[in-house]
Amino acid sequence: MKTGKYYAIGMLLSVAALVATMVVYPQLPSSVATHWNVHNRANGYSPKWALFLIGPGLLAGMTLLMYFLPWLSPKHFEVDSFRLTYFEIMVILIVLLSYLYGLTLWAGIGHPNIGRAMVGGIGLLFALLGNVMGKVRRNFYIGIRTPWALANERVWNATHRFAAKTMVVGGLAGLALSAAGLEGWPVFAVLMAGVLVPAVYSLMFYKQLERRGEL
């Protein structure tokens, strides 16, 4: 797939979100739920016109941001070094954001019980990102960007190989727990562990190399 086709996916999904918003707009109440807490209960509301920014606006903005990040990357930290993986991550993020926005519209037209579907989508997002995380090379925009990982390529690579495992396990575990009806902090903790554990690992591995004089 050529480079332009990846960005076309983002723009097509942005247009689809815009059309969907316009279609359901007359059915929406003046204020719609746009944020849910860890217990899957709506705790944040926005005027319905803001959906144009939250949905199609965000998707289009992310697509444009991903377009310019390769140009913004400083020397020796270019995203070109993992270009195909970069595009895969872009598509995963935009597709899952589109899914979550679709759930927001679904809730807005009178189907409020979307908590499990939303948490399941986030779990799937973590698992899919983990599947490609081991291929991400040092950069300032994507990955487990701790000071220790950015400071040393060996630490970066080891951290992201480890993160690939923890994110897949955490994402699938969160998806399974959500499907089983569990909600709240246990599910949230499982998902967050997939990212936080590799961050701690990067520090520990860096200090280990430092003690050995291998930095």
Q: What pLDDT score was predicted for residue 41? A: 81
Domain boundaries along the sequence of the chain: 1-113, 115-215
What integer best gives the mean pLDDT of the chain? Answer: 91
Write out pLDDT tens, residues 165-194.
Answer: 999 999 999 888 888 877 777 888 888 999
Write out pLDDT tens, residues 40-97.
Answer: 788 889 999 999 999 999 999 999 999 999 899 888 888 888 999 999 999 999 999 9
Strands (E), the chain: 31-36, 42-47
DSSP state of 50: G
Kindly report which listed range (86-90, 133-137, 211-215) carries the lowest average pLDDT score: 211-215
How buried is 176 (Cβ within 10 angstroms: 0-12 exposed, 13-18 middle, 19+ buried)? middle
How buried is 159 (Cβ within 10 angstroms: 0-12 exposed, 13-18 middle, 19+ buried)? buried
Compute how many other C-beta atoms are within 10 angstroms of the C-beta atom of residue 200: 11
